[in-house]
Chains A and B, each alone.
Chain A
Amino acid sequence: AQRVTQPEKLLSVFKGAPVELKCNYSYSGSPELFWYVQYSRQRLQLLLRHISRESIKGFTADLNKGETSFHLKKPFAQEEDSAMYYCALSRPSNTGKLIFGQGTTLQVKP
């Protein structure tokens, strides 16, 4: 079964510390994975996707097929990074029928 797991409900770090939000998936094929973010009082929005291999707001995520992981990383957390982060997996046929993880709240303390 296709599934996305984010093991941490809450991750609390101090400003300037490294951040790693964990995401593991199960999928029998070539996955397309995404990270979505929801800042306070804002809409859920795309942060980055693995096929783009991009860095957005200092965040990167590498797809590790061997470990079936897509962890989100940032070397130095900022207070404005505090938000809810969702990892998501795209189902076959390149549709928007995403499978979302449970979400991780990132709290960056001053």
Chain B
Amino acid sequence: DGGITQSPKYLFRKEGQNVTLSCEQNLNHDAMYWYRQDPGQGLRLIYYSQIVNDFQKGDIAEGYSVSREKKESFPLTVTSAQKNPTAFYLCASSITAGQTYTGELFFGEGSRLTVL
């Protein structure tokens, strides 16, 4: 079954703890993204990566970190520095401009993080 897999679906964490959300894709896409979804605010870009071993900050990167050691994987760490981490997190992937980019993002099912 091809697509994007995010885990865990639900995660609880105490204040002051770091937590890592997993995102794996088997679509052979070069680009991967992390978005945060909050009610009434739509989706906001946290980090993105166009290629392995390279990533850039999005609009709301503070308090988050990522890595891109493999094409298939783009984990997101929510650190204790993130002021308001309770949210729904969506991972996505796409082909890039060099691969006849169409603008389509493929999304995972999301991970809901709750900070207690």
Interface residues of A (CB under 8 A from B): 4, 6, 9, 32, 34, 36, 43-46, 49, 51, 86, 90, 93-103
Contact = CB atoms under 8 A, between A and B. Distances in A.
Contacts of A36: 105
B23 interface: no
- Of listed A4, A9, A34, A43, residue having the most chain B CB within 10 A: A43
Which 5 residue pairs are nearest across A and B when measured between Cβ atoms? Answer: A96-B94, A100-B42, A100-B43, A44-B107, A102-B42
Contacts of A102: 40-42
Given A86-B42, A100-B42, A95 B107 contact: no
20 contacts: A4-B42, A9-B40, A34-B104, A43-B107, A43-B109, A45-B106, A45-B107, A86-B43, A93-B97, A94-B97, A94-B101, A95-B31, A95-B48, A95-B97, A95-B101, A97-B45, A97-B58, A100-B35, A100-B42, A102-B41
Interface of B: 31, 33, 35, 40-45, 48, 50, 58, 90, 92-94, 96-97, 101-110
Contact of A49 (B45, B48, B102): B102
Contact of A96 (B40, B41, B103, B108): B103
A34 to B, nearest CB: 6
B90 A97 contact: no
Question: Quick one: which of A6, A93, A100 has the most chain B CB within 10 A?
Answer: A100
A98 B103 CA distance: 9
